Structure 1
Amino acid sequence: MSLELSPEVKYGLNFFHPAMMWILLALSLYAAYLGLQVQRTRNAQGEEKKELIKGKYTIKHHQIGSIILALMVAGSIGGMAVTYINNGKLFVGPHLLAGLGMTGLIAFSASLSPFMQKGANWARATHILLNFGILGLFIWQAFSGVEIVLRIISKA
């Protein structure tokens, strides 16, 4: 029994990872916005704080962050799997290495949640620093990924 994929399916798989990553980048920007709103809520006082609390930014930030973590891990594994399926090897270069680094960093950042919930400011500062670093890498990854997609299209 052969599990060989048709050329059309193999070609189409090339675009699943990039599409997922662009959606993930948009979600990451939204999570950053929510995180900033959480910080604003924490620092606000009086009526402003009451209004901001109604936004439930902490809950939304936590939920979106959980989705981002899951999609980042799945997207990293999926991107490597599709590359291997289509080429029989991985291309070790800046895009792959930065993506693997981002996946590790986001797991580390998420692991700080229990400490932040207990009020540890060092965890909050580390979480913010890691996430903005990941976001910067992610923006670079998006553009280097477009170059890869254009290469795939030109070979079709």
Structure 2
Amino acid sequence: MALEIPDTIKTWSQFGHPILMWVLLGLTIYALYLGMQIRRTRNADKEVRKELVKKNFSLRHHQIGSILLALMVLGTIGGMGVTYINNGKLFVGPHLLAGLAMTGMIATSAALVPYMQKGNELARYTHITLNVVLLGLFGWQAVTGMQIVQRIIEKMA
């Protein structure tokens, strides 16, 4: 028994991944801001640090990072799944490969957190570097993703 997905769902499902990824790009920029505030707090003098600690940047950064990790992994799987359902294959190209690399990078970045909490500076700098590269790739993915969306819309017309 084969499960047939209605064409309407197949067509419109192609827009879920791009929408989610644009939201995640915005959240990634917010996570960067929070991370910069944590660093500012860590390096501030005692009086300023007291005020900055009250803003709970660390907890918010950790929470946003957890959401980003989960949604990026699910968004990557979902994007690949929808592509396969609609085309019977994946298009192995720069967009897919960069997306897979980004998924690995965010997982590695998150895995460094326990080491950072113990004061490991190498883990901290690796976390920062991975996330800066991730943000750069995310911006590039946004451009190439919109090119893919344009091709999908042209096919629909």
TM class by shorter chain equals over 0.9
Task: Return the TM-score normalized by structure 1.
Answer: 0.98
Q: Which residue is 2:47 aligned to? A: 47
Q: Give the % identical residues.
A: 63
Find the counterpart in structure 2 of residue 24 from structure 1: 24
Deviations 1:3-38 (Å, cap 9, x if unpaired)?
111111100000000000000000000000000000
CA distance in 2, matches of 1:2, 1:85: 13
Query: Structure 1: which 5+ runs fail to align?
Result: none
Cα deviation 1:48-99 (Å, max 9, x = unaligned): 1111001100000011000000011000000000000000000000000000
The list of structure 1 runs, each at least 4 consecutive aligned residues, that deviate by more than 2 angstroms after superposition, is none
| Residue 8 (structure 1) aligns with | 8
Moved more, 13-22 or 45-54: 45-54
Q: How well do the aligned residues superpose, as a CA RMSD in angstroms?
A: 0.6
Distance 2:114 2:38 in 1: 16
Correspondence 1:37 to 2:21 = no
Is there any run of 5+ residues in structure 2 with no aligned partner, and where?
none
